[in-house]
Structure 1
């Protein structure tokens, strides 16, 4: 899924759109997304200017966005005339940050849906750079309108 399709599905825009491409997708089951980290990210002007590191909360947000894309139906929402319901990030469990993420890194985010019951769901997410785990977490969602 390219960035144009992602932008039709997610309400996020610059600077908070944290996924550049979806490279694998099994709707409702699993997804793999890519975030290319560049020095042009606005956060790097203030998050350690001499040693820029992507904040962990933005890694969690990238995980949530890939998870949201996984939970959305593959087709249909963007064609709807009314404001669609989307999965909203509501909580995090067991977050661990293993290694720093820096400009020039390509963040690979793998999510697996653990469960969906009614209007709530939970995913497991792992973020890697060059095959090494940099972060992992379980994220909760509730369906709502933005």
Structure 2
């Protein structure tokens, strides 16, 4: 895998998500048409922690999956020949497992690998790790569509 740092400014050029829903902070490795590694620094001042759960802040599982999907969308963007005016949308989420609680103060390392690419449909295997321990893993499918 190639070491390619992609900062938050460049990420925001590739995907449409913005605070409070932009859930990746940096890409730290990338191999176009194959795989990507990114990070999400989990902080207590994120809005989901006011209600999930107030007595013990826990990163919602759906947001962990969303972070993996956003990272995968960056991989798609870096892999396509033409990517202007394109967005990546979920089609399905399969075989998701949550194995470790993610809390404020954690650095979530996100990994995504392309399992299949047929035209505009992309399948991924992704995982999130905290301290080299799998926190979540998922297989999902996405479609690239023209931006409206």
Q: What TM-score do you get using the length of structure 2 for normalisation?
A: 0.91
- CA deviation after TM superposition for structure 1 residue 33, in Å: 0.7
Q: Distance in 1 between matches of 2:146 and 2:52?
A: 32
Deviations 1:44-90 (A, max 9, x none): 00111110000000000000001111111368767x5xxx1122122
Q: Given that residues 33 and 79 in structure 2 are in contact (C-alpha distance below 8 angstroms), is that contact kept between their aligned partners in structure 1?
A: no
* Pair 1:9 & 2:35 matched: no
The equivalent of 2:59 in structure 1 is 54
Runs of 4+ in 1 over 2 A off after TM superposition: 73-78
- CA deviation after TM superposition for structure 1 residue 144, in Å: 1.1
Stretches of structure 2 that go unaligned for 5 or more consecutive residues are 1-5
Assess, with a 3 A threshold, how the Cα gap between structure 1 residues 33 and 39 changes in structure 2: closer, same or farther: same
Give the aligned length.
142
The correspondence of residues 1-146 of structure 1 with structure 2, limited to 5 A, is 1-73=6-78, 80=84, 84-146=85-147
Q: Given that residues 28 and 72 in structure 1 are in contact (C-alpha distance below 8 angstroms), is that contact kept between their aligned partners in structure 2?
A: no
Measured on the aligned residues, the alpha-carbon RMSD in Å equals 1.5
Q: What TM-score do you get using the length of structure 1 for normalisation?
A: 0.92
